[in-house]
């Protein structure tokens, strides 16, 4: 194995990354879904990367990172371009939980977890949303009550990606119901295998199960598991959610696809094989998909430039998230338009129908997960354009007097 020298140049670094991928090509490859196998693949890949001193390039060296520059990250991304990097199951931990611990966690938490997350030895999930607290996540009801030095957690979380294979979770719970909702929350590190934690998969309309319900029944959490300060969990959660939006935006609005290999190319190919490419109306739709896809790629690369240059991305993160969801839905609809009645009923070996009906069924979730369009537009209207907030009926009211949830959840 090629080892770094003390005075390695950027070109030398790039060559080392290329050599590592060439040696370890068997560790890369596609991941079908977030099953247990995909997690093993991700862990093996990440461990090998870590052992080659190529993981956490820009993270501080004291927590297992390499303490290198963004130029190194860029060089790594270039060298990794031809490979499918199978780290999807680790991304919530590395992209959202770890930055939160880095910014808000205690020294002990950073030392205990960050390097292990970076090596893929610990997989993490995020436990914020609840049946009664979706867009209004600060309205959550899971309680954490003091018990000596410890805390006892009771409640239910939902939409937890990867809970079933995670070792730890970042939990947001209510520690004081007698103050307004944002002021009584605390963030904790919880062991997902602790007694009293029950995980049940949720089945989505696609038939797949990427999300879970997580139940907490008198789960004991030690006092040193608090991230940041007691009752100041909202500040920590904002850190996590900002990192989420940047991750989604930089990855192409959640699609994570690249120009030229995406929806348009697939649809044009579909129309060529199944007929319709001569239809002027369909050609207009196809061209619109191309335009949307191109604009999304341009937005995403602008976000990546900002991130690399150390700038806080502007409104492009929210715009890319919205544009990505819109493109996913539009492309699926065009796909079904090409398939015609073959998109309503098909023989079981028809891969085209499977692909585009799956895309159609996945599109609503794409728009909702990670922030609904309605919430995103509030954010754009209020924080970017400076428009006033709606009069808030929950602002100065103790949480216990608020009505939350309801509906059929």
Q: Return residues touching other proteins (CB under 8 A).
A: 268, 272, 277, 280, 283-284, 286-288, 290-291, 294-295, 298-299, 302, 315-316, 319, 322-323, 374, 376-378, 380-382, 384-391
- Which of 83, 8, 85, 98 minimizes the C-alpha distance to 53? 8
Query: For residues 125 and 192, is the Cβ–Cβ distance under 8 A?
Result: yes
Q: How far is the CB of 116 from other proteins (least distance, A)?
A: 39
Query: For residues 320 and 300, is the Cβ–Cβ distance under 8 A?
Result: yes
Q: How far is the CB of 238 from other proteins (least distance, A)?
A: 20
Three-state DSSP at 202 gives strand
| Residues 347, 348, 350, 352, CA torsion sign | positive
- Which of 126, 120, 121 minimizes the C-alpha distance to 86? 120
| Residues 94, 100, 103, 106, CA torsion sign | negative
> Among residues 81 and 382, whose Cβ is nearest to other proteins?
382
Tokens encoding 249: 């935006």
Whether 244 is catalytic is yes
Considering the candidates 34, 122, 130, 244, report the single residue annotated as catalytic.
Answer: 244
Q: How far is the CB of 387 from other proteins (least distance, A)?
A: 4
Q: How far is the CB of 271 from other proteins (least distance, A)?
A: 8
Burial of 8: CB neighbours in 10 Å, binned 0-12, 13-18, 19+? middle
- Which of 313, 312, 332 minimizes the C-alpha distance to 321? 313
Q: How far is the CB of 277 from other proteins (least distance, A)?
A: 6
d(CA 359, CA 76): 31
> Among residues 1 and 287, whose Cβ is nearest to other proteins?
287
Q: How far is the CB of 299 from other proteins (least distance, A)?
A: 6
In DSSP notation, 314-337 reads -THHHHHHHHHHHHHHHHHHHHHH
> Among residues 210 and 313, whose Cβ is nearest to other proteins?
313
Q: Which residues are CB-neighbours of 119 under 8 A, at least 6 positions away? A: 46, 47, 50, 51, 55, 64
Tokens encoding 13: 């670094």
> Among residues 275 and 381, whose Cβ is nearest to other proteins?
381
Neighbours of 176 (CB within 10 A): 17
Angle at 49 between CA 102 and CA 59, to 5 degrees: 20
> Among residues 99 and 276, whose Cβ is nearest to other proteins?
276
Q: How far is the CB of 259 from other proteins (least distance, A)?
A: 10
Query: For residues 46 and 119, is the Cβ–Cβ distance under 8 A?
Result: yes
d(CA 207, CA 202): 10
> Among residues 53 and 302, whose Cβ is nearest to other proteins?
302
Query: For residues 184 and 399, is the Cβ–Cβ distance under 8 A?
Result: yes
> Among residues 122 and 292, whose Cβ is nearest to other proteins?
292
> Among residues 351 and 385, whose Cβ is nearest to other proteins?
385
Q: How far is the CB of 305 from other proteins (least distance, A)?
A: 11
What are the catalytic residues? 244
């Amino acid at each position: 194995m090629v080892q770094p020298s003390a005075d390695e140049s950027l070109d030398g670094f790039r060559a080392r990354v290329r050599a590592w991928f060439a040696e370890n090509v068997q560790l890369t490859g596609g991941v079908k879904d977030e099953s247990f196998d995909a997690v093993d693949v991700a862990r093996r890949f990440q461990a090998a990367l870590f052992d080659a001193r190529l993981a956490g390039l820009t993270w501080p060296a004291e927590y297992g990172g390499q303490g290198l520059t963004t130029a190194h990250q860029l060089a790594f991304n270039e060298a990794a371009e031809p490979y499918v990097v199978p780290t999807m199951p680790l991304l919530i931990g590395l992209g959202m939980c770890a930055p939160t611990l880095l910014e808000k966690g205690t020294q002990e938490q950073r030392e205990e977890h960050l390097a292990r997350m970076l090596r893929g030895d610990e997989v993490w999930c995020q436990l914020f949303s609840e049946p009664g607290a979706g867009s209004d996540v600060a309205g959550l009801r899971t309680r954490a009550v003091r018990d000596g030095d410890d805390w006892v957690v009771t409640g239910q979380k939902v939409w937890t990606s990867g809970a079933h294979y995670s070792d730890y979770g970042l939990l947001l719970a209510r520690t004081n119901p007698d103050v307004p909702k944002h002021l009584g929350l605390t963030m904790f590190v919880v062991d997902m295998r602790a007694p009293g934690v029950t995980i049940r998969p949720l089945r989505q309309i696609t038939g797949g199960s990427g999300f879970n319900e997580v139940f907490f029944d008198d789960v004991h959490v030690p006092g040193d598991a608090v991230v940041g300060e007691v009752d100041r969990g909202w500040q920590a959660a904002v850190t996590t959610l900002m990192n989420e939006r940047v991750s989604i935006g930089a990855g192409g609005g959640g699609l994570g696809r690249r120009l030229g290999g995406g929806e348009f190319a697939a649809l044009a190919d579909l129309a060529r094989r199944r007929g319709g490419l001569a239809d002027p109306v369909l050609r207009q739709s196809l061209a619109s998909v191309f335009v949307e896809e191109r604009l999304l790629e341009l937005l995403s690369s602008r976000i990546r430039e900002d991130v690399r240059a150390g700038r806080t991305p502007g409104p492009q993160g929210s715009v890319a998230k919205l544009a990505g969801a819109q493109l996913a839905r539009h492309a699926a609809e065009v796909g079904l338009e090409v398939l015609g009645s073959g998109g309503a009923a098909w023989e079981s070996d028809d891969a085209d129908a499977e692909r585009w009906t799956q895309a159609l069924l996945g599109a609503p979730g794409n728009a909702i997960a990670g922030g609904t369009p309605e919430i995103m537009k509030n954010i754009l209207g209020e924080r970017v354009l400076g428009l006033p907030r709606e009069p808030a009926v929950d602002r100065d009211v103790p949480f216990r007097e608020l009505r939350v949830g309801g509906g059929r959840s």
